[in-house]
Chain A
């Protein structure tokens, strides 16, 4: 990455000439209409410097238009660009920005050597929290069913961490490592798979926990356990992402005990912080900046 220092120098040069002018930051996303994205943007704007002229551009789902708008921002010679889209799909635009020496920050975008940095949640840490939660609840001993999805890299790393945590407890047995069919969102097939596992392990107490790499399989497992009349066996279920349905299940105080919530506004704020550092001429060494996530249990689900 010999280009980085050159870019840094270029950025400083640009700054020196435009020291008094308002700094312009273009935030470009195809997903503004989605609720999660709004949280990113709100967090970004709240943490942004009052001196910035922020232009939020939504392309209504059109990825090619994201490239076009990055090109326009480069033509305009903005001071920094923030994107919230897979960098691999807009690399044509990122290349233009790179050639112009304009830093681009990813806001939960994905890793790319054409981004100054990408701000996101740490999937490894999230998986560690929920799997350790399970291990602790079982006091280090018991039978666990895992729901994983290795074909999708961000979910695969969650499974890998949970594998390591459970393997580190000699008395925890992973009795099944299920990859559900996700065509329908993952709830229905997870439920069917869990029903089969419950049928195969009829003894009460033969399954102690369900660890799911995202919320949908956890919800499917919950349905199967409740319908099998085994909700009172104390089977611990954990999911991840803390979607509204999962929060409802956790709040109900049943088997679904915990999930992880990403801090979307925090990701936006950290992206603003990264932009401020870049505008100050700093080079950010980390390709990825992680924003802490929060374990959601009955204790904090209503917050």
Chain B
């Protein structure tokens, strides 16, 4: 039963892959489509990976989606004002860092519940994005060609034409994996998530850790926002908003795969891939968009339920 609990989601993922392979024998498990999927999901993946960092502490960051939108708008406004690409990108990343630190300050120093604090900053960031862009979509000649071409770039690697966005997501994955799994910093984050009081008594510097973890997530959200803006060659004050719920869903899907039910970034990767494969496969099978949403929600619930059912039996 423990095995089913731990591997249920993975087995489900493989089942989904086999199902689509069966239904779409010519177009699903092809190199081109798999690389497409990796690029389609890259932005969500980056947000979900960095969301894993704060969720390791048992916290949430609901502001990642609007931070992604804000970062895109900050870059777009800088481009429209005639600044070079590096300035726009730098300003967007700085906005992510500042927003993340602010979240961290609210949560760790002022000790506001993360749900409430980041719900507040979600609205603030979104308002800032509307203010900066005047509510308009910044597109066309305002967005430098080199910036929008980045998302279309492919780099020959291991004999595969790897999309640039995929490589960027993999880089973030590796970084988060190293930080969470290979450093004392990461272990302390999990210690906070396990038992904050115990971690405090053990001498963990909780305030600093939470502050930096949120900053990390803020920058990651900004990276995702830039990727999105490059992909659609435009910036709009709401374009990243949808990333937040999907990212949390992906982390939850991943959590069903770890021993203690804590978020692990490789689990998050599987969660992200499940969402992406469902989107791609169901749309290729011409399944109605709304039915697709119901199915995806249902699958998330099933995965989480099978995890907790396994847990119940074990008890």
Within 8 A of B (CB), among A62-101: 62-65, 67-69, 71-73, 75-77, 86, 88-92, 95
B183 at the interface (CB under 8 A from A): no
Contact A57/B289 with A72-B280, A75-B32, A75-B284 known, Cβ cut-off 8 Å? yes
A32 at the interface (CB under 8 A from B): yes
Within 8 A of B (CB), among A177-232: 183
Interface residues on A, range: 20 to 34
A154 at the interface (CB under 8 A from B): no
B195 at the interface (CB under 8 A from A): no
B111 at the interface (CB under 8 A from A): no
With a CB–CB cut-off of 8 A, which chain A residues contact B24?
A: 76
A-B contact pairs, 14 of them (CB 8 A): A53-B286, A60-B242, A64-B228, A64-B231, A65-B40, A67-B231, A68-B280, A69-B283, A73-B283, A76-B27, A88-B139, A89-B233, A91-B233, A92-B148
Is B32 within 8 A of A89, CB to CB?
Answer: no
Q: Which residues of B contact A (CB under 8 A)?
A: 24, 27, 30, 32-33, 36, 40, 43, 134-135, 137, 139-140, 148, 151-152, 228, 231-234, 236, 238-239, 242, 279-280, 283-284, 286, 288-290
With a CB–CB cut-off of 8 A, which chain A residues contact B286?
A: 24, 53, 55
Q: B46 to nearest A CB, angstroms?
A: 13
Is B289 within 8 A of A92, CB to CB?
Answer: no
Instruction: Give how many A-B residue pairs fall within 8 Å (CB-CB).
Output: 79
Q: A291 to nearest B CB, angstroms?
A: 24
Contact A86/B283 with A58-B290, A92-B152 known, Cβ cut-off 8 Å? no
Is A71 within 8 A of B36, CB to CB?
Answer: yes
With a CB–CB cut-off of 8 A, which chain A residues contact B30?
A: 75
Is A92 within 8 A of B233, CB to CB?
Answer: yes
With a CB–CB cut-off of 8 A, which chain A residues contact B140?
A: 88
Q: B152 to nearest A CB, angstroms?
A: 5
Q: B37 to nearest A CB, angstroms?
A: 9
With a CB–CB cut-off of 8 A, which chain B residues contact A292?
A: none
CA distance A77 to B24 in the complex (A): 12
Is A71 within 8 A of B40, CB to CB?
Answer: yes
CA distance A62 to B242 in the complex (A): 7
With a CB–CB cut-off of 8 A, which chain B residues contact A24?
A: 286
With a CB–CB cut-off of 8 A, which chain B residues contact A58?
A: 289-290
Is A72 within 8 A of B284, CB to CB?
Answer: yes
With a CB–CB cut-off of 8 A, which chain A residues contact B236?
A: 63
Given A56-B288, A89-B233, A92-B151, 11 new contacts (CB under 8 A): A53-B286, A55-B286, A56-B289, A63-B234, A64-B231, A73-B283, A88-B139, A89-B137, A89-B232, A92-B231, A92-B232
Is A86 within 8 A of B139, CB to CB?
Answer: yes
Q: A41 to nearest B CB, angstroms?
A: 12
Within 8 A of B (CB), among A14-73: 24, 32, 53, 55-65, 67-69, 71-73
CA distance A60 to B243 in the complex (A): 12
Is A72 within 8 A of B238, CB to CB?
Answer: no
Contact A63/B239 with A75-B284, A77-B27 known, Cβ cut-off 8 Å? yes
Contact A89/B228 with A56-B289, A72-B284 known, Cβ cut-off 8 Å? no
Most buried by B among A55, A62, A64, A183: A64
Is B33 within 8 A of A75, CB to CB?
Answer: yes
Is A63 within 8 A of B232, CB to CB?
Answer: yes
Q: B108 to nearest A CB, angstroms?
A: 33
From the candidates A56, A68, A75, name the one contacting B279 in the complex (CB within 8 A): A68
CA distance A55 to B288 in the complex (A): 7
CA distance A32 to B293 in the complex (A): 14
With a CB–CB cut-off of 8 A, which chain B residues contact A88?
A: 139-140, 233-234
With a CB–CB cut-off of 8 A, which chain B residues contact A91?
A: 148, 233
With a CB–CB cut-off of 8 A, which chain A residues contact B284?
A: 72, 75-76
CA distance A73 to B27 in the complex (A): 10
With a CB–CB cut-off of 8 A, which chain B residues contact A60?
A: 242, 289
Q: A99 to nearest B CB, angstroms?
A: 11
* Chain A residue at minimum C-beta to C-beta distance from B33: A75
From the candidates B139, B151, B289, name the one contacting A59 in the complex (CB within 8 A): B289
CA distance A62 to B279 in the complex (A): 13
CA distance A62 to B283 in the complex (A): 15
With a CB–CB cut-off of 8 A, which chain B residues contact A61?
A: 238, 242
With a CB–CB cut-off of 8 A, which chain B residues contact A64?
A: 40, 43, 228, 231-232, 239
Q: A39 to nearest B CB, angstroms?
A: 18
* Chain A residue at minimum C-beta to C-beta distance from B41: A68
CA distance A13 to B292 in the complex (A): 33
CA distance A63 to B36 in the complex (A): 16
Q: B32 to nearest A CB, angstroms?
A: 7
With a CB–CB cut-off of 8 A, which chain A residues contact B33?
A: 75
